Structure 1
Amino acid sequence: MQRLTSSVQITLRLFVVARWVMLGLIALGWTLQAVRPTLFRQIVSWFPPPPEPIGTSIVVVLMAVANLWVSRRVLARGRATMSLAGTHLLLDTAALTALLALSGGVSNAFTSMYFVPMTLAIQLSPGWAWAIGGACLLGFASLFVLGPAPVGPPGHEEHFLGHIRGMWVAFGISAAFVIYFVHRIALSLARQRAELERLRMTAQQDRQLAALGTLAAGAAHELGSPLATIGVLVADLPLMEPREQSEAMQTIRHELARCKHILQQMSSPELRVGSLAASAEAWPLAELGEALRSLGSEVTIAMSAAGAAATTTQPQEVVLQIVRAVGTNAIDACRAKPGSTGVRVTIDVAADHALLRVRDDGVGMPPEAVAAAFDPFFSTKPEGKGMGLGLFLARAHLRKLGGTIELESEHGRGTTTTVRFPLREALREGATDGRGG
């Protein structure tokens, strides 16, 4: 209903503009007649005969009053209806017939102006289009009676009258073809618009479904670490001393709170959607170091002066999730290698971008594992110890942030992961691929 009202409003507005154009041309002719009568007579001689002044003036005034009424009382207040628009097109057809009858009748060269209301009526409905077309054809026919009889060259009066009658028949046939085919084109365009709208809605639903899939995968990945910790501690509780049991229970409570937080985000998609937008308030980049320190004692943080003073408006929850995923991978790699010295993290700022480098001297990865590191469900960890989603989700989120992630690793010697993202750039789709290089 809203789309129909908008179409009628546009049609009526175009009709008002067309009417003003015609009235302006008539006014220009009158002005030219007063200022340059010789030039006016030359122009009028191209389109004989000249209009009858009194009757033409009355029609012009009535059309101007109708136009002002439509502009101020209908269009300005958004009250356009299909019946009102169709009625004005019928009135305009009658006014055009009167003007033509007052200026030569059927022999007037501007009888083709009947196509204007016909074309506008196509935007309303098939019924109104055929009604206006019939009215125009009837108005054209009435010119044979209302206007002066067409006068042809001496001796060829009948031939000229036959030519004029043929023009009326040709007008009727052309009008029928125009209404039919233009209406078919309009219907085809309407179907295309409807199909595009359907495809847009489908694409939006697919994006939402993909976002929910990413949300679920991220939650599953984040739940893996705390649940694994809880499982180990629960298995060892019977073997612990009372003091160790108390510490273990405290750790279990902490990990359960973390699981609860992850599940709350999973069960409240609107919270995650909000977190994927740039923050209105800046938050300190130093919180990245705090998030990494909470992962384990193996992490050593080195923050430059620029990094310590920097703030970012990027979504905090997303950035912290990326950092935790990268840090967890580095810690697991170090724990898998006896004698490892731990994870060293540097946080810096370069060219309005945050720069995070996570280095470990863990087990490292062979070249083929590095090439597949960002693929979903690929993991170098023992079966059941990793889901292979951490780096995949990190890269997906960094693409939205306009950032990148690079991975350098040597089997047996460790891995360096470099995360880079703009400090104050809004989320966007289709950012540069985050794989190294």
Structure 2
Amino acid sequence: MSDEQSSAEITLRLFVVARWVMLVLIAFGWTLQTISPGMFTWVVSWFPPPPEPTGTAAVVSLLVLGNLWVRLRVLGRGRATTTIAGVHLLVDSVALTALLALSGGVTNSFTTMYFVPMTLATQLSPRWTWAVAAASLLGFAALFVLAPAPAGPPGHEHHFLGHIRGMWVAFGMSAAFMTYFVHRIALSLSRQRAELTRLRLAAEQDRQLAALGTLAAGAAHELGSPLGTVAMLVGDLGVMSEAERADAIATIRQELRRCKTIVQQMSSPELRVPSLGRASEAWPLARLADELHDSGGELRLQIDVDASARGVSTSQPIEVLGQIVRAVVANAVDACRARAGSTGVRLRVAVEGDQAHITVIDDGAGMAPQAAAAAFDPFFSTKPEGQGMGLGLYLARAHLRALGGTIELASQLGHGTTVEVRFPLTEALRAAAGASV
């Protein structure tokens, strides 16, 4: 729906409500007159003369029919336009003039009701705003002709008529000022809404580009390890025995399959980046253990799936979580290899409330406090030059933020590192949608 259609529909809906309120008040007056004439006489003594019943009933009937037509044929079918809204506001000004003429004319204190269609017209366009304002001003002026001339106190008829005419002039000036300033405010708000919409779309595009960039960096980081293994084995093929060469070729094939899997995942970013709006099918949390097959190499990798996690499923994308856990475990394995006598890596999968809790513990080389504080910075690495890109933990934290999760690291130099990963079992987007239903 365009901005013009949206403004027209909002104006028509408010107009229908305002008209119903006026009709209900008129119906209330008729009901009170029927049930309690004395009470009705006392009430109307505070207000203008009682309306002429036949003419008023005809105008009210037309307004009711007009309201029903707008509700059923226009709003009900999504056909609201600026022209329809503007025409109905003009019709309402004419109908209000008729009702006022049938109940005291210019002496009726409810002439200020002209401001209702004028205010609603500011949501349409400058042309309709000034057209409705002019129609209301002319309607007020027509009351001097359509209704009997007002009779003031004896001896002050001229002064009273001058007062009424002054009210018309004051109404015209107020209408002009109100129409101009309210319409300027409406235009300013419209421009602000358009700018906010533009900024929201730009931010969404930037967020998606950043997510795709993070995805590409993650794929490059994951490809580094198998390609490095392939390069090393290819370089040593010439000096290997037949048995060693066969094992090397088998390993190369395995690493190439791994590379192919990473590239396939890269070609389907909607599976890797939930911020792009795609939901994942639920899968058992214990399946994360399968993602760590052979991750420890010659080192011992102990995986413990806590009783709280058994039988529990999550809708978070397994490709993202698999990459995160593999990166953390790979760092732990490298740290253990750098320290003689290491016993290996321990991984624990547990569930606490609606949060999954994954803990990776190693007794490897550990990190100094300064290095631990910078561990999540991009391109920071404690590994020898050429053996790491320094993106593993940075990308893990970026992905976890998109999932609504966190990652924390505690390390002590020479004693090992503990990494704790937490994330909600249900995707943030899906949970938000469920809460809004």
TM-score normalised to structure 1 length: 0.90
| 1:434 corresponding residue in structure 2 | none
2:4 corresponds in structure 1 to 4
Q: Structure 1 CA distance, aligned partners of 2:358 and 2:20?
A: 66
Aligned ranges 1:241-390 → 2 under 5 Å: 241-273=241-273, 279-285=280-286, 287-288=288-289, 291-303=292-304, 306=307, 309-313=310-314, 314-337=316-339, 339-349=340-350, 351-352=352-353, 353-390=355-392
Deviation at 1:106, TM superposition (A): 1.5
What is the CA-CA distance between 1:83 and the residue it aligns to? 2.1
> Could you tell me how far apart the structure 2 residues matched to 1:241 and 1:307 are?
49
Corresponding residue SS for 2:332: helix
Q: CA deviation at 1:24?
A: 1.5
| TM-score normalized with structure 2 length | 0.90
Quick one: percent identity of the two aligned structures?
64
| 1:366, distance to aligned residue in structure 2 (A) | 2.1
Matched-pair contact (CA < 8 Å) for 1:275–1:315: no
Quick one: which amino acid aligns to residue 367 of structure 1? P
Query: Aligned partners of 2:275, 2:98: CA distance in 1, in Å?
Result: 67
Q: CA contact under 8 A between 1:275 and 1:318: conserved in structure 2?
A: no
- The change in CA–CA distance for 1:50 and 1:213 in structure 2 (over 3 A counts) is same
Distance 2:360 2:71 in 1: 68
Q: Deviations over 1:19-43 (max 9, x none)?
A: 2221221121122122221222222
Distance 1:242 1:307, change over 3 A: farther
Q: Where do 4+ consecutive residues of structure 1 move more than 6 Å? A: 275-278
Q: Tell me which amino acid in the other structure corresponds to 2:212.
A: L
> Alpha-carbon deviations, 1:302-323, whole Å to 9, x = none?
4256278344313211222122
Contact 2:271–2:280 (CA under 8 A) maintained in structure 1: no
Aligned partner of 2:397 in structure 1 is 395
Shift of 1:295: 4.1
Match of 1:215 in 2: 215
Q: Is the 8 A contact 2:409 2:419 kept in 1?
A: yes
Q: Residue 60 of structure 1 aligns to which amino acid in structure 2?
A: V
* Matched residue, 2:427: 426
The SS at the match of 1:285 is helix
1:20-419 to structure 2, matched below 5 A, reads 20-273=20-273, 279-285=280-286, 287-288=288-289, 291-303=292-304, 306=307, 309-313=310-314, 314-337=316-339, 339-349=340-350, 351-352=352-353, 353-413=355-415, 415-419=416-420
List alignment gaps of at least 5 residues for structure 2. Answer: 431-437
CA contact (8 A) 2:105 2:146 kept: yes
2:406 and 2:114 map into 1 onto residues whose CA distance is 63
2:105–2:144 CA contact under 8 A, matched in 1:
yes
Of the structure 1 ranges 43-52 and 27-36, higher mean CA displacement relative to structure 2 is found in 43-52
Aligned 8 A contact 2:226 2:255 in 1? yes
* CA distance in 2 between partners of 1:308 and 1:122 (Å): 59
Q: SS where residue 273 of structure 2 aligns?
A: helix
SS in 1 for 2:360: strand
Change (3 A) 1:284 1:195: closer
Counterpart Cα distance in 1 of 2:306 and 2:173? 83
Q: Indicate conservation of the 8 Å contact 2:47/2:109, yes or no.
A: yes
Matched positions, count: 427
Please give the alpha-carbon distance, in whole angstroms, between the structure 2 residues aligned to 1:101 and 1:229: 94
Q: Residue type matched to 1:351 in 2? A: E
Task: Kindly indicate whether the alpha-carbon contact (under 8 Å) linking 1:94 and 1:139 is maintained by their aligned counterparts in 2.
Answer: yes
